[in-house]
Amino acid sequence: MVRGKTEMKRIENATSRQVTFSKRRNGLLKKAFELSVLCDAEVALIIFSPRGKLYEFSSSSSIPKTVERYQKRIQDLGSNHKRDDNSQQSKDETYALARKIEHLEISTRKMLGEGLDASSIEELQQLENQLDRSLMKIRAKKYQLLREEIEKLKEKERNLIAQNKMLMEKECVNEV
């Protein structure tokens, strides 16, 4: 049986209004519960009847804690509206950086030979290859610096030989 669309206006008959309130209130409480369970959301619902009776639902331990959390969030939104526009992006970037740091720390420990117990043969082979590549780069840089130092020393030696030759020639000229 299909119901017609309900017109959204105040129900004039007090009995019908009370019955509708009771049914819709129970449906709303059920939906709040389902939302909290299915989506692991923190839900707080506060309803006052036309006669002032209180009905409430909270998925957390207490409604006051949820309301306090809500008020704090509203206050933060008011003072930091621009920051909240980018807050999800910032959270994502923070999470990605935290994962990267964690990965780098694990990698560093493995490079130092720590925490290798859980490593597979393939991981150990990759680590060995990486260390070999690093060692080759380090040696290449070391040899380059040594060659540059040798060239500087040879240049210095040539200058000293030239100065020595000049001094010897001066001494020979002074002796004559």
Q: What is the pTM of this model?
A: 0.42
pLDDT, residue 82, reads 55
pLDDT, residue 23, reads 92
DSSP conformation letters of 36-57:
HHHH----EEEEE-TT--EEEE
Q: Taking the CA atoms of the chain, what radius of gyration do you get in angstroms?
A: 40
Residues 110, 116: contact at Cβ < 8 Å?
yes
Lowest mean pLDDT among 13-17, 75-79, 83-87, 164-168: 83-87
Query: In the beta sheet, which residues pair with residue 55?
Result: 47
Which pair of structure tokens corresponds to residue 2? 């299909």
Which pair of structure tokens corresponds to residue 62? 């207490």
Q: Residue 54 — φ and ψ, nearest 5°? A: -95, 135
Residues 84, 77: contact at Cβ < 8 Å?
yes
Which pair of structure tokens corresponds to residue 52? 């002032």
Residues 104, 112: contact at Cβ < 8 Å?
no
- The model's pLDDT over 9-66, given as tens digits with 9 standing for 90+, comes to 888 898 988 998 999 999 999 998 999 899 988 888 889 888 888 888 888 878 888 8
% of the chain at pLDDT higher than 70: 94
